Amino acid sequence: MDLTLRLSSEYEDLLEQEARREGITPDALAARIVERQLAPLASDPVARMHARLRAWQEKDGVRLFPDTPASALFARWDEESAGMTDEERECEERIWDDVVTNLQKRHSEPTER
């Protein structure tokens, strides 16, 4: 992938200095930094999910719970679920089944152009 980055002059200087120190091009160093940052996401599905949720929140500009990481949100939901009655759980499952069914139905319908 070719990528264009806009860096401040300060970061551009730092990138060039570090690349010279390591004996590689600034492009190679930038690629290494990105790969190092993304490596945990490649091997950890939970980390990928958290990154995707965070990206969606940033893209939408709306956070469901400001500054609350996804893991804390899921833990909160687990706590709430633990206090549910069987009847409440069954109702939640029916609602979720309806959502999934409708999503699958919508996904299988031809798109209009």
From residue 7, how far is each of 34, 43, 81, 93 by CA, in Å? 14, 29, 46, 48
The verdict on residue 96 lying in a domain is: yes
The string of pLDDT tens digits covering residues 8-35 is 999 999 999 999 998 999 999 998 888 8
Domain coverage including residue 84: 65-113
| Domain-embedded: residue 46 | no
Residue 91 within a domain: yes
Average pLDDT over residues 39-58: 76
What pLDDT does 63 receive? Answer: 59
Strand, helix or coil for residue 112: coil
Whether 49 maps to a domain, the answer reads no
Region label for 61, one of left (φ > 0), alpha (ψ between -120 and 50) or beta (otherwise) = left
Between residues 50 and 87, the one the model is more confident about: 87
- Give the chain's length: 113
Global pTM reads 0.41
Considering only residues 95 and 71, tell me which one the structure prediction assigns the higher pLDDT: 95
7 within domain boundaries: no
Looking at residue 13, its pLDDT comes to: 95
Q: What pLDDT, in 10s, does the model give residues 50-85?
A: 777 777 777 777 655 556 777 777 888 888 888 889
- What angle, rounded to 10 degrees, do the helices at 9-22 and 26-43 form? 90
What letter would DSSP give residue 52?
H
19 near 29, Cβ under 8 Å? yes
| 69 part of a folded domain | yes
Residue 112 belongs to a domain: yes
112 has pLDDT over 70: no
Please give the tally of structural domains in the chain: 1
